[in-house]
Amino acid sequence: MNIWVYIDHFKGAPLLASWEALGLAKRLGNATAVLLGHPMEEAVQAAFEFGADAVLLADDPALADYRAEAFASTLSAAASAQTPDLLLFPTTSRGREIAAMTAADLNAGLLVDVTALEIAAGRVVATRPVYGGKALVRETCAVKPALVTLRGRAFPKPEQQIGRSGPVTRIEVRAEAQTTVEGYSTGEGVSLTDAGVIVSGGRGLTVFPGLDEKSAAARGFALLDELAAVLNGAVGASRAVVDAGHAPYAQQVGQTGKLVSPDLYIACGISGAIQHLAGMRTAKVIVAINTDAEAPIFQVARYGVVGDLYQIVPALTAALKKRLGRQ
Amino acid sequence: MKIVVCVKTTLPSEAQIRLEGGKLIFDNTPPVINPWDEYAVEAALQQKEAVGGTVTALSIGDESANVALKHALAMGADEAIRITDSALGALDTLATARLLAAAVQKLGGVDLVCFGRQAIDGDSGVTPAQTARLLGWPALTLASAVKIEGRRIRVERSIEEGRQIVSADLPAVLSVVKDFAEPRYPTFMGKRKADRAEIPVWSLAAPAPLVAWGEFAEPPRQTAQCEIITGASPEEIAEKLAEKILAEKIL
Ligand SMILES: Cc1cc2nc3c(=O)[nH]c(=O)nc-3n(C[C@H](O)[C@H](O)[C@H](O)COP(=O)(O)OP(=O)(O)OC[C@H]3O[C@@H](n4cnc5c(N)ncnc54)[C@H](O)[C@@H]3O)c2cc1C
């Protein structure tokens, strides 16, 4: 089976979920990594090190900025000429969009945010969460090629083999696009969807004796930042604190925020409303810290502490720092 | 300016779902407009207020689609059209996009099509980009801020790394995320108008879907019950919890 994997990147730095897709492709057949952008040398090298058998490359200054139309046109042209059986993408904002447009160009089947995939009688059969994660559905695709976007962290990341390399074939660039990129304003830190560990805060973070809501939230998030730093993790938030203006929307986890599946999710002062659970219940290990023993978050958590996050979080940071030997 | 907003009727996120023999059984929570689409209606209305024009709401489906359409009317949309697929089959995202693109073309002279970022049932989030592609228009997805000047539309997009600022000429397709603006509540007058509205139905032919939904299954449950960590002091609790976390070998 001839499988292409779109390597999603931001300004040449690939997102982790791209390597997870490459790992799956290797298990299913022959894995060709597709890299579009500029400059791409380092990403090409990394694609081989994470297991690509071959690379298709469009490295061109006209692709230096991501524009969906140009990326999709370049990919569609190559795919209609070379007819891969299956195209995999990470479910990132760009992966979703390029897959959507390429499927429209090729009149191909599109399966989005898949968490398990198999080939049965030559057909792609995928499983994916629907209804905010309340059910899984099996989807089948009747035509070739199938385009599939994979949920981040649902598939294992392959080992990196330093120095590995392979053949690079250049593909034709189709740079025409109707959109113009005018600029970026980027945040810092680990992206939530890539993070292996997420420490999240909710409304419980906004109540501290003697402090107004804003100062309490600032103090609470500072504690979460320290815990996340020890764990090399990212900081998330519930909608309640995002709506109140204490955290940016980019940090919101849940049905109307990010869907995340980290290895460890630490929910601090979050009640566990169904819309919040929709975004994080697939985390491998969930830890809940909440003063209310009846909070629904404890129903999905593996470990729970019924207590005050302002006391537990700094103590946990200290305990982990000691054990992990990190500063 | 002629603005279209595409909306869908879904179950509210609080609705309970059970599984029986691979089929989904829903509780009888009344359906609502897909929550994301309220932001799309808000975006459409704000553009109309800024530059003038009309807002037409489109939805595909049986009569239940009128729930979303009437909500859009109650918020302030000028008209609503329900689209049925003449073959009445299941639709995949691409078939949905083909129907919507055909309806936009049939309307004629449309300058802007607004979508919510995704529907909370299928959770796909690809229909806006597919519709744009089929129309041959630029797709400005995940918009958190929008400004139209003359025939130019400028959008701030919410991406993993922060914001990307893009612009394009109209006509264009927009999908809107939550931090665009809180959607307005329907007014009393708006609700009355929506209740009385006769919603025309267009029957359009959709292609056969390429992707089909099969059986449903329960999502994996956390196997272990929650283990509550207790101790005499926060420090003691934290020490025990740290041990448990490290023993999971996930760090
Ligand atoms: C259509 C729709 C979409 C939504 N989408 C999302 C979404 O994407 N993401 C999301 O998160 N929500 C979403 N919501 C909102 C959701 O329903 C909840 O309102 C929200 O998640 C509650 O946030 P919270 O847990 O921070 O606040 P609360 O529910 O107020 O919980 C605060 C918790 O903090 C605890 N607490 C208080 N003080 C302390 C302390 N000192 N130490 C420890 N614990 C403490 C309390 O016991 C309580 O359990 C959505 C709602 C709707 C209707």
Q: What distance in Å separates residue B58's CA from the closest CA in chain A? A: 21
CB A25 within 8 A of CB A54: no
Q: Are A211 and A223 in contact (CB under 8 A)?
A: no
**Average pLDDT of A242-271?**
92
Handedness of CA B240, B241, B243, B244 (dihedral sign): positive
The ipTM value here is 0.91
Say yes or no: CB of residue A118 within 6 Å of ligand 1: no
Interface test with A, best of B42, B117, B123, B218 (most A CBs within 10 A): B123
CB-nearest partner of B17 from A135, A259, A315: A135
d(CA B140, CA A218): 34
Mean pLDDT across the stretch B3-29? 92
Q: Which atom of ligand 1 lies at the shortest distance from residue A270's CA?
A: 25
For A132-147, what is the mean pLDDT?
A: 93
Q: Is the pLDDT reported for residue B177 higher than 80? A: yes
Q: Mean of the pLDDT values across residues B33-49?
A: 97
- Closest C-alpha residue for ligand 1 atom 48: A271
Domains of chain B: 2-203 (3.40.50.620)
What are A109's two structure tokens?
């089947």
Spatial distance between the Cα atoms of A302 and A220, rounded to a whole number of angstroms:
23
pLDDT band for B223, please (50, 70, 90 cuts): low
Ligand 1 atom with minimal separation from the A289 CA: 43
Which residues are CB-contacts of A253 (< 8 A; sequence separation ≥ 6)? A192, A198, A200, A236, A237, A238, A260, A276, A279, A280
Q: CA-to-CA distance for B12 and B29, rounded, in angstroms?
A: 7
Residue A294 predicted with pLDDT over 60? yes
* pLDDT higher than threshold 70 for residue A186: no
Give the closest of B169, B172, B213 to A137, CB-based.
B213
Question: What pLDDT, on a 0 to 100 scale, did the predictor assign at position B39?
Answer: 96
Quick one: pLDDT at residue A221?
Answer: 96
Binding-face residues of B in 99-128 toward A, CB within 8 A: 120-127
What whole-number distance in Å separates Cα of residue A207 and Cα of residue A246? 12
Please name the CATH architecture into which domain A2-170 falls.
3-Layer(aba) Sandwich (3.40)
Which residues of chain B make contact with A304, given a CB cutoff of 8 A? Answer: 226-229
**A92 DSSP 8-state letter:** S
pLDDT at A90 over 80: yes
pTM, entire model:
0.84
Query: Taking Cα atoms as reference points, which of A197, A192, A196, A186 lies closest to residue A259?
Result: A192
Does the CB atom of residue A244 touch ligand 1 within 6 A? no
For chain B, how many residues are written?
A: 251
Cα distance between residue A231 and residue B219, in whole Å: 28
pLDDT band at A259 (very low <50, low <70, confident <90, very high): confident
| Rounded mean pLDDT, A170-188 | 88
- Assign B141 a pLDDT band (cuts: 50, 70, 90): very high
Q: Which of A235, A251, A268, A276 to mutate to test the pocket of ligand 1 (most atoms within 8 A of CB)?
A: A276
pLDDT at A155: 93
Looking at residue A306, its pLDDT comes to 97
What are the structural domain ranges in chain A?
Answer: 2-170, 197-324
| pLDDT tens digits, A49-84 | 999 999 999 999 999 999 999 999 999 999 999 999
Residue A188 is predicted with a pLDDT of: 54
Contact A120, A128 (CB under 8 A): no
pLDDT tens-digit readout, B64-111: 999 999 999 999 999 999 999 877 678 999 999 999 999 999 999 999
The verdict on the CB of residue A295 being under 6 Å from ligand 1 is yes
Lowest mean pLDDT among A115-124, A310-319, B46-55: A115-124
Please say whether the beta carbons of A283 and A198 come within 8 A.
yes
Residue A239: CB within 6 Å of ligand 1?
yes
Fold of A197-324: Rossmann fold (3.40.50)
A288 has pLDDT over 90: yes
Determine the residue among B159, B167, B218, B246 to mutate to test chain A binding: the one whose Cβ has the most chain A Cβ atoms within 10 Å.
Answer: B159
Three-class SS state of B220: coil
Asked if B36 is an interface residue toward chain A (Cβ–Cβ < 8 A), one would say yes
Question: How far is Cα A16 from Cα B118, in angstroms, rounded to an integer?
Answer: 24
Q: What is residue A162's three-state secondary structure?
A: coil
What number is the average pLDDT over the span A217-233? 95
Q: Which of A197-201, A301-305, B172-176, B223-227 has the lowest mean pLDDT?
A: B223-227
Give the list of residues 6+ apart from residue A289 with CB closer than 8 angstroms, or none: A266, A267, A268, A269, A304, A305, A307, A309, A312, A313
Percentage of chain B with pLDDT > 70? 98
Query: In the predicted model, what is the mean pLDDT of residues A9-32?
Result: 95
Q: How far apart are CA B73 and CA A326, in angstroms?
A: 57
pLDDT bucket at A4, cuts 50 / 70 / 90: very high
For chain B, report the end-to-end CA distance as a whole number of angstroms: 54
Read off the tokens for A231.
């764990």
At B133, list the tokens: 């592609």
Q: What is the pLDDT of residue B250?
A: 87
Pocket test for ligand 1, best of A255, A277, A289 (most atoms within 8 A of CB): A255
**What letters, b where the CB count within 10 A reaches 16 and e where it falls short, cover A103-112?**
bbbbebbbbb
Q: Pairing between strand B79-85 and B54-60?
A: parallel
Average pLDDT of chain A, as a whole number: 94
The pLDDT value recorded for residue B246 is: 94
